[in-house]
Every structure is written in structure tokens, then in C-alpha cells.
Amino acid sequence: MTVHGKPSRLGRMALIGIVLTYLGLILILPLLGLVRHTYEVGFGESFLALLDEAALDALLKTLYLIVIAVVVNAVVGTVGAISIVRHRFWGRSLLSAFFDLPLAVSPVMIGLGFVLLIGRGGLLEPLLQVLDLKVMFSFWGLTIGTLFVTLPFTMREVAYVLEEIGSQEEEAATTLGASPFQTFWRVTLPNIRFALGYGLLMTVARTVGEFGAVLVLGGSISGQTQTATTFIHDAIEERKLPAAYGMSLTLAALSICLLLGLEWAKKQRKLKLSGRHTP
Amino acid sequence: MSAHALAPTRSEKVLRGFTLLYVAGLVLVPLLAVLHFSLLDGAAALFERISTPVALASVWLTTWTAIIVAVLNVLLGTATAWVLVRYKVPGRALISAVIDLPLAIPTLVAGVMLAILYGPTSSLGQSLEGFGIHIVFAPLGIIFALLFVTLPFVVRAVEPVLEEVDPAEEEAARLLGAGPFTTFKTVFLPAILPAALSGGIRSLGRALGEFGSLVVISGNIPFETLTAPTYIFGEIESGAPETAAAVSGVLLMLALALHAFAQFLERRTGARHATS
């Protein structure tokens, strides 16, 4: 579309100026500021601080949580999406609503919900005592918090693609005598793989980034329930700034890598979907 | 439509049953627990717990900053989408990728970055202080952090809608003598308004519950920069879950209402929530 007339040219420059200032002040300058500040404190010192036992342990906890969240959400998200898009059953729209809910509510408040259930004096405390299971302030607490906040991503992505591509191919496979298992592996999975990848990358990003829920349920005990984000928080409180900046920069770099992966998966998914619409 | 061809087998139904149980246990049970505990001692006790001065101050701070952020987001997010879709700005792909950054970066790290840039140790922070503009440990810092974490919501809701607007309509408006402003009002505004609104409501909902990015930048000073989620966290820590549940119950109801309204708008516009 070409721009007609002169007055809109000035308006255009002004609008671009406003948008770039906005993005610069809120996003880009803060990111560059973190890099520069870590440089001033000393890159060497900041990254050496991450070799400290507590820091490595926090990173390892985050890594464990990533593995758990990815495995669980790959299964639950795929099964949930297929059920919601392909099946008709009682409670279907309710299930869909539950999947979306973690996007809408504060992790701190849901963390509180779990505290009320499994914390001291909670409703389920007697049951946990019988089972001799410690959930609060243990790795289980971190796991529950992480699984809650990462619930929506794979389901939403996979469901979106399943809806777009329709069910003809799967029906054809079934009619030709493929078992449900074969249909899934040979037809459905290849179709949803980029959507699943996108959802899982979002799951990783969310797992790394979660703070409120894991703080409430884990308590950020150094060496036990401290994750990468709660490590940063504690390091700032204790004025261990090189460690805080080093870890922040590490997580920021990791998110940028994840972002590149997300952009790639988004492009692949788009290509795959648009390839289908042209006969 | 041969729906029966894909009728679920028994094992699929079992898998589906497990998923339902898992999701209900993970989402519904804790949500009901908060609502249950907030009303456990009756409405009078609930009212008493949320109307202590410090609780009221924190809820009020969270509410007004969230509203400002939602409004700013609608305006600036729409402007950003407009620039991205309609203008050939150099580095457009890079700008577009940067907009998704808040979805990938830990919100706590976002808070750290903003605190560094606008804090007393940076030259920018010092010169702003010189003008009497306080950002770190001040409500303005809360607004900046909330703008960071909600940045993609309006942009990503408006972008696809803007791409769909028929160039012929715009051409027609211009040929009929409409100026740029009238063209925007008659051709574009009706199309993008529901999308911008749904993004704005998403921002509002998110801002009401944000915690990680605010802990570092706000300083959590009661009556000044203590937001509702931080207040709730403090009450959990200090062993007062009933107060935490009261404030959470009210905010959760509000969040659910906003969520339902945003979903209604998204269904109408076909836009998707930017968190995915």
C-alpha cells in the first residue's frame, strides 16, 4: 500500500518515533543495560559466581523441572488437544476452559490455593502424613507449581493446528484400516510436530521464568528448593550482585535462544498450514 | 461428516479420563480452595480482612497501575501493530521478534533489568532523579515493569486483524475524499477495536496478578509500592493465610471475569491470546 498525500508522511514519522521510543525504553534499553552493567561489575566475576555450589544446584533444579514439564505437557497437551478438538463428550468446553485458566490467574494466588490444601493445617495434610510425603518446601512443591503454570501452552498450540488442518486425513487413515495408534504416529503427529515444538519451547521458557508459584510452594531453600529465578531474588537480597547479574544475564541469553527457536517454529507452522490451503 | 470414523476407542477414553483428572486437580482444586477459604468465616470476616488499611492500599495500587497499563497498552500496542503491518520500517523482522521477548524472558529478570537501567547506579536513572522522576521503588517503576510483561498482548491481538483489512475499503474511503483521520475512524477502528480491547483486558488481568517483575523494582513499601500480589505473598509468609485468601479470592473472581470477557471478544475477532 502506498501512502497518499503529504500530511500523513509527518504523521508516519511521528508514529514510528513513538513506537521505537516505547520499545526502546521498556524493552531494548533495559536488556542492553543488563549486559553493560554485568560488564561493569565484571563478566568474569559474574560467571565465576555461577560456579558456586548453590548457583549450580539452582540451575540443576531448573533443569530437572524443565525435563518434567516437557515430558508431562507433551503427553497431557497432546491428549487434551485431541480430546477437545476431535472428540465430543460431556465437559468438553469445561476441560478447554481449565486448560486456559493458568494464563488468567496469578501464580502466587494459586500457590496459596495449594498451601491451603497441603500446607500446615491444610485439608489434605492428614493424607500426606499417612503417605509420608512432604510436598511443601520440597521438590514436589516446585513440580506442582511448574506444572500448573505450564499447563496451557502445548494444548493450545496443538489444538489450534488440529482445528486448522481438519480431520480428513485421519479419517482416511482409519478408513484404510490403520489402528488409532498408527493413525496418531503416521498422520496426526507429523502434522502437529511444529505446533508441539512451539508449545514445548513456551513450556521451557515458562518453567525457567516462573517465580511466584515456586517461591510460595518451594520456599527457595538454598541447595534444596532454590531455582534459577529464586536464586537471583535471594542473591539480590543478600547483596551478592555479581551472582545476581550473572544468573540474570544467563537466563536472558537463554530466553533469547528460546525466542529464536519460537520464531523458527512459528514460521514452520505457518508454512505448513499455508501449504495446505493452496491446492 | 463421518464423525464416527474417529470415535474414541476405549484406551483413548481412559487417556482422556486421566487428563481430565489431572487438569481438574491442578487447576480447579486449588482455585476452589482459595475461594472456599476466603468465604469460610462468612462475608463479614471477608470484608474485615480486605478492608485493613494496608490491604486496601495494596489492592488500590494494583488496580490503578493495572488500569493505566491496560490503557497505555491499547494505545501504544495498536500503534506498534500499525507500524509493523503498514510501514516498511528497516529491521521490521527484528522488531517483531523483540516484541515476543517478554513471553520468553523470566519476569524477575525483567524487573532486574529495569531496576538497573532506571536505578540510582545508572547515569539514566541519576539524570531522571535530577528531574525529580523516580522510577525504582516508585509507582512509575511498577507501571514500567507491567508494560514490559504485558507488551505483546495488544500488538499480537491487533496485528492479524489489521492484516485482514481490505485495501479496497481504504482506497474507497480516500477516493470519497476522506482524510487519513476519517479513514482510520471509519475503516480501521471498527475492525481493530474488539481486538485491541481483548488485548487490553488481557493486560489488565495479567497486571492484577503480576509478582516476579515487581518484587525487585517496587521495593514493596507498605502504603507506597506494596502491590496486592506481594501483599498476599507476605501474608502467606507471615502465617496469615486467611487474610491472603480473602484478598486472593476477590482478585481471582475479578481475574476470572476479565478472562471470560476477553475470551468472548477473542472468539468474536478470531484473535488469539498472545501468551501462545
Complex ipTM value: 0.91
Q: What is the pLDDT of residue A1?
A: 44
Q: Are A161 and A196 in contact (CB under 8 A)?
A: no
From the list B105, B120, B138, B106, the residue with the least C-alpha distance to B218 is B138
In a mutational test of the A interface, the residue from B86, B95, B108, B254 whose CB has the highest number of chain A CBs within 10 Å is B108
Task: Let me know if residue B5 belongs to a domain.
Answer: no
* DSSP letter for each residue of B165-208: S-HHHHHHHHHTT--HHHHIIIIIHHHHHHHHHHHHHHHHHHHH
Touching B: A residues 17-36, CB under 8 Å: 18-19, 22-23, 25-31, 33-34
Taking the model in full, what pTM does it have? 0.93
DSSP E strands, chain B: none
Give the total number of structural domains in chain B: 1
For all residues of chain A together, what is the average pLDDT? 90
Range of the domain at B62: 41-269
A100 in reach of chain B (CB within 8 A): yes
Q: What is the pLDDT of residue A129?
A: 86
- Where residue A7 falls among pLDDT bands split at 50, 70, 90? low
State whether B30 and A28 contact (CB < 8 Å). no
State whether A232 and B109 contact (CB < 8 Å). yes
Q: What is the pLDDT of residues B213-264, one digit of tens each?
A: 999 999 899 999 999 999 999 999 998 999 999 999 999 999 999 999 998 8
How far apart, in Å, do the first and last CA atoms of chain A sit? 28
Give me the phi and psi of B89, to 5 degrees please: -80, 140
Cell of B117: 537501567
B240's CB contacts (< 8 A; 6+ apart) are none
Chain B residues near residue A210 by CB distance under 8 angstroms: 106, 212
State whether B108 and A22 contact (CB < 8 Å). no
Q: Given a cut of 80, is residue B1 above it in pLDDT?
A: no
Q: Are A162 and A132 in contact (CB under 8 A)?
A: no
Task: Let me know if residue B46 belongs to a domain.
Answer: yes
State whether A105 and B76 contact (CB < 8 Å). no
Higher pLDDT pick, B157 / A275: B157
Q: Given a cut of 80, is residue A2 above it in pLDDT?
A: no
Chain A residues near residue B22 by CB distance under 8 angstroms: 76
Q: Say which residue the cell 500503534 belongs to.
A: B79
What percent of chain B stands above pLDDT 90? 66
Higher pLDDT pick, A166 / B73: B73
- Where residue A142 falls among pLDDT bands split at 50, 70, 90? very high
| B163 class by beta-carbon count within 10 Å (0-12 exposed, 13-18 middle, 19+ buried) | exposed
Closest-CA residue of A relative to B83 is A16
A180: helix, strand or coil? helix
Count of CB atoms situated within 10 Å of the CB of B4:
8
A232 in reach of chain B (CB within 8 A): yes
Q: Say which residue the cell 525529580 belongs to.
A: B132
CATH architecture of A49-277: Orthogonal Bundle (1.10)
Q: Are A195 and A82 in contact (CB under 8 A)?
A: no
Q: What is the pLDDT of residues A114-127, one digit of tens each?
A: 999 988 888 888 88
Closest-CA residue of A relative to B91 is A20
Q: Given a cut of 50, is residue B276 above it in pLDDT?
A: no
CA dist., res. B25 & res. B16, Å (int)? 14
A194 in reach of chain B (CB within 8 A): no
State whether B80 and A19 contact (CB < 8 Å). yes
- Where residue B157 falls among pLDDT bands split at 50, 70, 90? very high
A178's CB contacts (< 8 A; 6+ apart) are A186, A187
Mean pLDDT of A21-46: 92
Q: What is the pLDDT of residues B18-29, one digit of tens each?
A: 999 999 999 999
At A89, the amino acid letter reads F
For all residues of chain B together, what is the average pLDDT? 90
Q: Given a cut of 60, is residue A69 above it in pLDDT?
A: yes
Task: Let me know if residue B182 belongs to a domain.
Answer: yes
CA distance B165 to chain A (A): 12
Q: What is the pLDDT of residue B274?
A: 62
State whether B180 and A5 contact (CB < 8 Å). yes
Between the alpha carbon of residue A71 and those of residues A140, A203, B25, the distances in Å are 16, 10, 18
Q: Which CATH number goes with the domain that contains B212?
A: 1.10.3720.10
Closest-CA residue of A relative to B170 is A1
From the list A97, A94, A37, the residue with the least C-alpha distance to A242 is A37
Q: What is the pLDDT of residues A198-247, one digit of tens each?
A: 999 999 999 999 999 999 999 999 989 999 999 999 999 999 999 999 99
- Where residue B77 falls among pLDDT bands split at 50, 70, 90? very high
Task: Let me know if residue B36 belongs to a domain.
Answer: no
**Dihedral through CA B125, CA B130, CA B131, CA B136, nearest 10?**
40
Mean pLDDT of B34-61: 93
Chain A residues near residue B273 by CB distance under 8 angstroms: 100, 103
At A75, the amino acid letter reads V
- Where residue B272 falls among pLDDT bands split at 50, 70, 90? low
State whether B212 and A229 contact (CB < 8 Å). yes
Q: Which pairs count as long-range contacts for B225-229, CB under 8 Å and 24+ apart, including other chains?
A: B225/B61, B225/B137, B225/B138, B225/B139, B225/B141, B225/B142, B226/B54, B226/B57, B226/B58, B226/B61, B227/B58, B227/B61, B227/B62, B227/B65, B227/B142, B228/B58, B228/B59, B228/B61, B228/B62, B229/A106, B229/A108, B229/A109, B229/A212, B229/B62
CA dist., res. A203 & res. A191, Å (int)? 20
Task: Let me know if residue B14 belongs to a domain.
Answer: no
Q: What is the pLDDT of residues A170-180, one digit of tens each?
A: 889 988 988 88
Task: Let me know if residue B31 belongs to a domain.
Answer: no
- Where residue B170 falls among pLDDT bands split at 50, 70, 90? confident
Q: Given a cut of 70, is residue B275 above it in pLDDT?
A: no
State whether B23 and A115 contact (CB < 8 Å). no
Q: What is the pLDDT of residue B108?
A: 96
State whether B259 and A259 contact (CB < 8 Å). no
Task: Let me know if residue B274 belongs to a domain.
Answer: no
* Cα atoms in the 13 Å half-sphere on the side-chain side of B175: 6
